Structure 1
C-alpha cells in the first residue's frame, strides 16, 4: 500500500442521492484495537439514506463532508496494537459501531476488532455484503422477542434487508411465518420460506389474525399492528417513522413503560460474537444472502436512489474491489 489515499463516497450537503460523489481521501491507519479492512463490498441501509437526506440534522451535526456506508465485507490489510485473532489477508465482514458512524463506502475502513467477524468459507464476498445487517434480525427474533417453535410470526417489510433475513430465520426457528410485502415481491418472500405472503397495500391489518411476535421494519402504524398481538405477544421494531420521529419515539417510550414491555425498540450494534453466530447460521443453511442489484462504487448514488424508490428484494450491494 504505497498510495496514502483511497476512494471514498462523500457528500457536502444534505439532499437527494445526487449529493453523493466519489473522491480521494487519506487512507486511514488502524489505531490500537482496530483492524484496517480492504473493502470488497457494502450494502445500502435505510438509516444512512435518512441521514443523508437531512432528516436527523440535530444528531448528525453540521460538519461536512460526511460519509456513507455502514456494513462491509473485505480482507484484513493491517492490524493495530493489541489486536489478536486476525491476520493480514483474512476474509472478514462487519458493521461499524454506533460511535463510528458511517464510512464503509470506501476502499479501506478502520474498525474496532470486536466489530469484525470471519467470513464463512465459500461465501462470495460481494453477495455476503447483504448479510451483516441480518444480525439485527437474529437479535430481534431470538433475543428481544424470544421467538419459540410453533409461534406465529408477522414480518413487516419482509422483502427488505432485515425483513428477508427475518423470514428465513423465523422459518428456521420453527415459527409459522406471515410476510407482508409489495405484491410484486410476494413470490420472492414465499421462496424465502414464508408460509403466507400478503400484499401490504391491499390486506387490512384487522384481517391478518393474531400473532405471538410482530417484527416491524417500517416504523409506521405501530398502534395498529400492536393490536394484533395475542396474549403474551411481543412486538419488536427496528426503526421509527422518519416523517414523524418525535411522535414515533414518544409512542415507543410509552409502549415500553406503560405497555408491559410489549413493544421493544432497538438499534443493531453487532459484536464479533454476533457476527460469528451469523456465520454459523449461514453454514447451517438457515440463512442465505439475497442480493437485488450490484452497483459499482461510483454509482453509490444510484443505489441510494433505488432504495428510496422502494421494492427492493433483499439488499442493494455496492462492489468496491
Structure 2
C-alpha cells in the first residue's frame, strides 16, 4: 500500500510517498481504509524535530493523527464494529504513529462511528482540535457571562471548536484573527473581533480573566500586560522548556501560566459527537488529494486560513 513517510527531520520536502506492507490486525484491532486525514500544527512540529525529546529520532516516521474511513476488517475480539462501517478516529501516539496511508490498523478503542450528518473530511478534522478545545475549556475553570476571555489566533481548527463551546458557556469572548477570519469568528460566537493586521491587542486597555494563545505568537511574557491580577494564560503549544518553567512561575504570581496538553479519549469524543449531532460547525477550508501531500503540508504551515486543511483519498 501507499503511505506518506519521512526519513529525516525537515520541511515538507522530506515527506515521500512509499510502498509499505499493508498492516495486519490483532484481535482487538480494526483495519480501516482511510478516506481522509487532517493536518495539525503538531504534524510539522514533530517533522521538523521540535519535539524529538518525545518523538525520538528513529525513522521512518509517519504523519497525520486524526482520520476517517471505512472498516475493512475487524479482529475477532472486536465488538461494535463490522466491515463497511464508516468511522473516524485518532492514533494513540502521534509522536510515533501516523494515519497518512491507504490503510491503518488501529485499536477499536481509538475509533468511533462517523455521524451521518458530517462528511469524511469533517470527521477527520474533529478528534485532535475537538479534544484540545474541550481540554482548554476544563483548564479555564468556572466560566460565566462575567468571564472575559481573549482567544488569539481564533479561527483555525482549534479556535473554530473553542469559540462555539465558549458561546454555549455564555462567556464574553474577544477573538483575534485575520481579516479573512472575522466573519467566521462572529459566526462561531465571538462578541468582539479584532483584526490583528489593523490593531495590536496588547495595546488595548481592556484586561482579561483568561487569555489563550492558539497562534503561539503572543506568549505568556507579552500576555501578562493584558491579564487581570488573578487570571490564566493558556498555552496549548508549549516549547518543552516551558512546561517545567510554568510550574516555577506559578509559585510567584497570581497570573498563572497554564500548559494545555490534550489526549483524545472516549469522554471527549462522546461530547464532540453530541455537539456534532446538535449542528457543530466544522469548517473545511481546503481539501487536497492524496498525491498532493507536500503541497497540502506547505499550504497548511503558512497559516492564515480559517478552519481545517484535509487530505483525501479514493
Note the C-alpha offset of 1:85.
2.3
Aligned partners of 2:143 and 2:171 also within 8 Å: yes
Q: What is the deviation of 1:227?
A: 4.4
Q: CA deviation at 1:197?
A: 1.3
2:301 equivalent in structure 1: 308
- 2:241 is equivalent to residue 263 of structure 1: no
- Residues of 2 paired with 1:137 and 1:303: CA distance? 24
* Structure-1 separation of matches of 2:253 and 2:123: 38
User: Could you tell me how far 1:250 is from its partner in structure 2?
Assistant: 4.3
In structure 2, C-alpha distance between the alignment counterparts of 1:270 and 1:261, rounded to whole Å: 28
1:136 aligned residue:
132
Contact 1:7 1:23 in 2 (8 A): yes
- Relative distance call for 1:300 and 1:72 in structure 2 (3 A) is same
Secondary structure of the structure 1 residue equivalent to 2:234: strand
- Using structure 2 for the length normalisation, give the TM-score: 0.90
1:94 to 58, 80, 89: 89
> In the alignment, which of 116, 119, 134 is matched to residue 114 of structure 2?
119
User: Deviation at 1:112?
Assistant: 2.3
Is the aligned partner of 1:276 residue 2:270?
A: yes
Contact in 2 for aligned 1:21/1:298 (Cα 8 Å):
no
Gaps of 5+ in 1: 1-5
Q: Which has the higher contact order (CA 8 A, sep 6+)?
A: 1
Which residue matches 2:165? Answer: 169
Partner of 1:3: none
Q: Which residue of 2 aligns with 1:209?
A: 206
Distance 1:87 1:110 in 2: 14
Distance 2:126 2:274 in 1: 12
CA positional deviation for 1:208: 5.7
1:232 to partner: Cα distance: 4.5
The answer on whether the counterparts of 1:218 and 1:240 sit within 8 Å (CA) in structure 2 is no
Match of 1:228 in 2: 226
Q: Deviations over 1:189-243 (max 9, x none)?
A: 22322111112343242416222322222334212224433355333221125xx
Q: Report how far residue 303 of structure 1 moved.
A: 1.3
C-alpha displacement of 1:127? 2.6
2-side partners of 1:74 and 1:257: how far apart?
46
Aligned to 1:251: 245
Counterpart-to-counterpart distance in 1, 2:313 and 2:142: 37
Q: Distance in 2 between matches of 1:284 and 1:89?
A: 25
Relative distance call for 1:173 and 1:88 in structure 2 (3 A) is: farther
CA distance in 2, matches of 1:193, 1:47: 26
8 A Cα contact 2:39 2:308, kept in partner: yes
**Match for residue 188 of structure 1?**
184
Report deviation, 1:18: 1.5
Scaled by the length of structure 1, the TM-score of the pair is 0.88
Structure 2 unaligned residues grouped into runs of 5+: none
